[in-house]
Amino acid sequence: MRTLIYTAFVSLDGVVDSPGGGIRSEAHRSGGWTYKDIEFVPEAYELKGRETEEATALMFGRTSYQAFAPLWPDMADFAALKELPKYVVSTTLGQDALVDNWGDITILRSLADVAKVKETEGGPIVIHGSATLARNLSDAGLIDHYHLLVFPVLLGAGKRMFSDTDKEKQMLKVLESETYANGITKLVYDVVR
């Protein structure tokens, strides 16, 4: 069985954002906060390098896929991810919208399809961005680990990492935690089943 890892840059009040400032369709007044007003400390991002080394596939929601697909295939920072299989969870994306220079890409049409992929053999599947997908996967009990870099900032506005769905309590086990000189805190959690 494969593990599903959600990785995120998150504010203390639960707002997630892409480090480059998001995309126009998701713009909000705080877009791009991850590299604004916070000193860059390389060791705070060690987790991101490790995720890249350990990932055997990537998963995205439609919006994040459409934001990353034109950029990531040709970026040196993401070269190690280029040939990895990718899964895009979308009920609307057509095959004609998939890029052809980014490894094998499979469209999953439902959370049941995601659950079937998890049952296959293979290593970790890492989810980047994709806040809506992450909320739905969390609510469905499909996420196995959270890799969070929590930034010392309160934003108020923006996409939330977790939904406000009334559901059963879900316990998490801390696997790693560390706070860096710039105030970022690494939190790696295992979802207790």
Q: What is the mean pLDDT of residues 39-59?
A: 95
Predicted confidence at residue 132, as pLDDT, reads 92
Segment of 11-15, 25-29, 75-79, 117-121 carrying the highest mean pLDDT: 117-121
Locate tokens 């995120």: which residue?
8
Q: Lowest mean pLDDT: which of 11-15, 33-37, 84-88, 107-111?
A: 33-37
Residue in 83, 78, 36 with CA at minimum distance from that of residue 56: 83
Q: Alpha-carbon distance 167 to 42, whole Å?
A: 37
Burial of 22 (0-12, 13-18, 19+ CB in 10 A): buried
Q: What is the mean pLDDT of residues 85-89?
A: 97
- Judge contact between 160 and 14, C-beta under 8 A: yes
113-132 pLDDT, tens digit per residue, is: 999 999 999 999 999 989 99
3-state secondary structure of 118: helix
Q: What is the DSSP letter of 128?
A: -
Q: What percent of the chain has pLDDT over 90?
A: 71
Q: What is the pTM of this model?
A: 0.92
Predicted confidence at residue 24, as pLDDT, reads 57
